[in-house]
């Protein structure tokens, strides 16, 4: 066996082990969500009763509602503010740009626990000073928007950097007003980046636990906090596995839908070229 073949087989083995390491825990969660016995350590049968039980629990449905409200609301505002931040960074690329970019992107590299504690302390001082905001979905939304903006700005800024400046000048030469340039040029050009930024911000919000835990209130329990509380009180139960399986299924469906849409668009583009 020559060295090139050995390296190829070694790389294939590493890739297979890596995929198994990523997917095996997910498979275990899904498999044990169908286990009839609550305390079983081996698979002994098949049942769907745990999925019915979790939908009968009002706390889980309320947590899911809070997560969706928080995710959609914060992702929408985070996308708007992040896009504006990216436009500002793109226009101001003079001296001191590196320091400005570092300040903007600092929340990305900052540990979540430090960011969450700082947000909690800030909101507590604000509430004592002016009586607003009270801990709940509002404080969680503000905190989520603040850490979503750099991610959206990074995506939109990458799109702006690759944009030909002559297109902007051409729109002005054709007497396009700023408002007309916005919906006739900027929005179509930035649409893929805005959609990607929104999906990224929504995913970050739906998945967040640490920042939500520090900035939330008694009546603003999100799904990650609900799952953590359930595990802390009762340990890992089939209901917890069922909730995790539903989340895994939702992510897979979203990924498959995105792949299908891209495939259709690529097919239309190929047929148009031909």
Q: Which residues are CB-neighbours of 19 under 8 A, at least 6 positions away?
A: none
Residues 126-166 pLDDT 10s: 999 998 888 899 999 999 999 999 999 999 998 888 777 67
Across the chain, what does the average pLDDT equal? 83
With a cut of 90, say whether residue 117 has pLDDT above it.
yes
pLDDT at 125: 93
Residue 274 scores a pLDDT above 60: no
What pLDDT shows up at residue 210? 93
Triad 21, 27, 33: Cα angle to 5°: 145
Q: Roughly what angle, to the nearest 10 degrees, separates helices 238-273 and 3-32?
A: 130
pLDDT classification of 66: cutoffs 50, 70, 90? very high
Contact 31, 43 (CB under 8 A): yes
Q: Give the residue-averaged pLDDT of 44-64.
A: 82
Per-residue pLDDT, averaged over 50-68, amounts to: 84
**Looking at the predicted structure, is the pLDDT value of residue 271 above 60?**
no
CATH code of the domain made up of 59-271: 1.10.3720.10
The per-residue pLDDT for 272 is 42
Mean pLDDT over 253-263 rounds to: 74
pLDDT per residue as tens digits for the range 176-200:
666 777 777 778 888 888 988 998 8
Q: Which two tokens stand for residue 122?
A: 């800030």
At residue 273 the predicted structure's pLDDT band, cuts being 50, 70 and 90, is very low
- Tell which residue, 197, 200, 208, has the closest CA to residue 157: 197
Domain boundaries, the chain: 59-271
- Least-confidence region, from 16-25, 167-176, 204-213, 224-233: 167-176
Residue 85: closest CA among 37, 147, 154: 154
Express each pLDDT in 211-246 by its tens digit. Answer: 999 999 888 899 899 888 888 887 888 888 888 888
Q: How confident is the model at residue 42 (pLDDT cuts 50, 70, 90)?
A: confident
- Please give the average per-residue pLDDT across 11-35, as a whole number: 87
> Given a cut of 80, is residue 44 above it in pLDDT?
no
In sequence order, what are the residues at sequence separation of 6 or more whose Cβ sits closer than 8 angstroms to the Cβ of residue 168?
181, 185
Q: What are phi and psi of 178, to 5 degrees?
A: -55, -40
- Top-confidence range, 22-31, 115-124, 250-259: 115-124
- Burial class, 174, CB count within 10 angstroms (exposed 0-12 / middle 13-18 / buried 19+): exposed
């Amino acid at each position: 066996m020559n060295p090139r073949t050995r390296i190829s087989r070694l790389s294939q083995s590493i890739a297979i082990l890596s995929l198994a390491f990523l997917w095996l825990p997910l498979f275990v969660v899904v498999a044990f969500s169908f286990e009839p016995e609550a305390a079983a350590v081996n698979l002994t049968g098949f049942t769907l009763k745990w999925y019915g039980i979790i939908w009968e629990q009002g706390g889980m449905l309320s947590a899911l509602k809070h997560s969706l409200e928080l995710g959609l609301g914060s992702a929408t505002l985070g996308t708007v503010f992040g896009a504006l931040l990216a436009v500002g960074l793109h226009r101001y690329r003079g001296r001191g740009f590196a320091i400005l970019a570092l300040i903007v992107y600092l929340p990305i590299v900052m540990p979540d626990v430090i960011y969450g504690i700082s947000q909690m302390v800030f909101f507590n001082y604000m509430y004592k000073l002016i009586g607003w905001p009270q801990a709940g979905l509002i404080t969680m939304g503000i905190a989520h928007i603040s850490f979503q903006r750099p991610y959206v700005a990074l995506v939109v800024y990458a799109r702006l950097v690759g944009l030909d400046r002559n297109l902007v000048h051409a729109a002005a030469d054709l007497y396009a007003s700023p408002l007309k340039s916005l919906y006739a040029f900027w929005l179509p050009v930035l649409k893929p980046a805005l959609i990607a930024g929104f999906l990224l911000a929504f995913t970050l919000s739906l998945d967040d636990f640490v920042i939500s835990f520090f900035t939330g209130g008694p009546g603003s329990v999100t799904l990650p906090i609900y799952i953590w509380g359930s595990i802390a009180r009762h340990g890992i139960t089939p209901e917890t596995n069922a909730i995790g399986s539903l989340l895994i299924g939702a992510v897979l469906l979203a990924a498959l839908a995105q792949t299908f849409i891209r495939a259709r668009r690529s097919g239309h583009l190929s047929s148009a070229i031909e």
